[in-house]
Amino acid sequence: MMRLLILIVVLMLEFTGGGDVHAQFLRLRKRSQAERATRDLEKRQKEVSQGNMFNPLQPMGARENFQRDDHIWSAETAYITTVNAGNVSITTPSRLGIHRNNELQSLLGAAFWVPNLMLKHRIRSDNWWVASRHGIYSSTPGLEWAKQKRYQSIADSLVKVPHIFTVRNELIISKPWDYDYTCVNQQPYLILTAALALDYGFPLGSNDLIDIDEHLGGSRNPALTGKGVLVNARIRVDAQLTYRTFIEGGVKFFFHNFETLNAVEHHGALNYFLNHNTSISPGYILSFANYGSSKVKIFPSIDLTWYFGEKPRRPRGLFEQQMF
């Protein structure tokens, strides 16, 4: 009896417009099949790490780009490295990003003779980049070492070396060229940097040290021997030659208590990246000063750097000019 009633209802629906109901049922069935096929496709793409929500024909994620920003933005520019990223170097400042606007720096190659620690703070980052750098270091271990090794031109063996501390405050301004704030994290091909630093060295106790009579060290006499203010003005150029090759060069001028020391240094280096994380940088330092037996002296230099951490996903200032 029940089967007969069901058959009668179905026949009545067919004669009273049931065709529309049937068509709707077919459309729902087709849509359900399409949705199920789409879910299956997305599942398979996810399993093989494929599929992009913006473009299904491209893989998910950002475009493959292993070029880091700090390859050209050196530690001596106004750039602040990414949080938890940085580099470990020998003869140039190593650094670690600790905040979006701050990084720690230390010259590890000189830490045995001159323990040092600096903090660089971002002030501005748009067309012009501005940062300040503040730190403290001590030349006492190095002077004691020179005294024991009888390097009389650095520290007399008969003079007591006091505890010397030097405080540094520096303003750094960088101007990049061809820096494009787009979704693609592009880099500048040229950066010009100017900086002015004041180092104030002071001893704890009496100080009978004589001035250092050596190139490089003599140019920094007030800071290293604890005898007042050393003013250091510098300009620097960083440029990209190829994907793996960068070049840098600059000039430093030194003044003692704002009076000229007639000391100038010029340096140049070629930075070549062996891989994404390691670079080697041969170069030179040319010193012009009235120290020792020569007014001009050249020093070869080489640096090894290991980079760690990830580069930013996009440059600062992408959607707005950043000013702090």
| Full-model pTM | 0.74
d(CA 69, CA 82): 9
User: pLDDT tens-digit profile of 84-116?
Assistant: 999 999 999 999 999 999 999 999 999 999 999
Backbone torsion region of residue 160, taken as left when φ is above 0, otherwise alpha when ψ lies between -120 and 50, otherwise beta: beta
- The tokens 């007030």 sit on which residue? 222
| Mean pLDDT, range 175-181, rounded to an integer | 71
8 Å CB contact between 67 and 187: yes
- The values of phi and psi at residue 127, to 5°, are -70, -30
d(CA 207, CA 225): 8
Please give the mean pLDDT across all residues of the chain: 81
Who's near 105: CB < 8 A, 6+ residues apart?
Answer: 75, 93, 94, 95, 117, 118, 119, 120, 133, 135
Better-predicted residue by pLDDT, 186 or 85? 85
Q: What is the pLDDT of residues 7-60, one digit of tens each?
A: 555 455 554 455 555 555 455 555 566 666 666 666 665 555 444 554 444 444
| pLDDT (0 to 100) of residue 162 | 93
pLDDT in tens, 125-140: 888 999 999 999 999 9
pLDDT of residue 24: 53
Distance between CA atoms of 236 and 265, rounded to whole angstroms? 12
Question: Is residue 188 scored above 90 in pLDDT?
Answer: no
Please state which of the ranges 85-89, 185-189, 238-242, 294-298 shows the lowest mean pLDDT.
Answer: 185-189
Contact indicator for 246, 271 with CB cutoff of 8 Å: yes
216 vs 315: which has the higher pLDDT: 216
Confidence of residue 312 (pLDDT cuts 50, 70, 90): low
- DSSP strand pairing (294-308 vs 116-125): unpaired
3-state secondary structure of 257: coil
Return the sign of the alpha-carbon dihedral for residues 28, 33, 36, 41.
negative
Enter the tokens of residue 2. 């029940």
Q: Which fold has domain 71-323?
A: Porin (2.40.160)
* CA-wise closest residue to 131 among 73, 201, 182, 86: 73
